[in-house]
Amino acid sequence: MPINKLQIKSTSLAESREMTVFLPSSHSPASNCPIVFCTDGQALAMFAHGFESRIRDCELPEIVLVGVHSSQHRAQEYTLGYNDLKYRTHEQFFTEEVPEWLKSEFGLVTDRSRTGVFGFSHGGAFVLTMAARHRDLYGLVIAFSIAGGFEQFQITEQSHELSPRFYLSAGTREKPLLKTTRRLAKHLNRHKIDCVVTERPAGHDYEYWRTELPIALKWGFAASNSHNICDIS
């Protein structure tokens, strides 16, 4: 089955955490396809609905999505400066334990050039800081409706060589989050970091994120992709 629901026993978190993994039926470890680690993994089955047929019809590249479920402490685990202990332990779980588990469970090995992270709302803020703090791990960042002010993100003097590529999106009806996205895009543009930013007539809702994700994945991993610098006036 493409959707696999499992548990991982975490040493860092001192608890078990639910995982949802989308693994295309056509996949084999030898295919070396991209892997995207997703926050709020309990929503992954909804996000990946229809992906199997899209991959089969070559509308999407073959891709593995690894959904790390959030907990009742979601805001503390995703937000830098809220609860340092919970943030650090979740960071260790997300960046170290989950990739090791993926290798053990499915035989999948990550490589920066084909590894991405995806998040929305507070999860979008989390993947941005993970990309800044672990530049050796992720080559693509997909962040929608980024919650929290621009100042919290540790994306400062990055060189073009060390930076991942960014796909950012926000709804026109979520004004504060749209403002944050625009500020981040301008910052990336000033540093000549590869990014795309889209604005949709939408609010803070799953349907918007669900329809935007395939576009972001195709941009990030399609073989014919062109590397464009975002143009934000």
Domain residue spans of the chain: 3-221
pLDDT of res. 223: 56
Tell me which of 35-39, 85-89, 129-133, 149-153 is least confident.
Answer: 149-153
Please give the CATH superfamily to which domain 3-221 belongs. Answer: Alpha/Beta hydrolase fold, catalytic domain (3.40.50.1820)
Question: What is d(CA 75, CA 81) in angstroms, rounded to the nearest whole number?
Answer: 10
Question: What is d(CA 148, CA 154) in angstroms, rounded to the nearest whole number?
Answer: 13
Question: What is d(CA 123, CA 222) in angstroms, rounded to the nearest whole number?
Answer: 24
Q: Under DSSP, is residue 232 helix (H, G, I), strand (E, B) or coil?
A: coil
Instruction: Locate the DSSP E strands across 30-74.
Output: 35-38, 64-68
**Single pTM value for the model:** 0.92
Per the prediction, the chain carries an average pLDDT of 89
pLDDT, one tens digit per residue, over 72-85 is 999 999 998 889 99
pLDDT, one tens digit per residue, over 48-71 is 999 999 999 999 999 999 999 999
Question: What is d(CA 60, CA 56) in angstroms, rounded to the nearest whole number?
Answer: 8
pLDDT of res. 10: 97
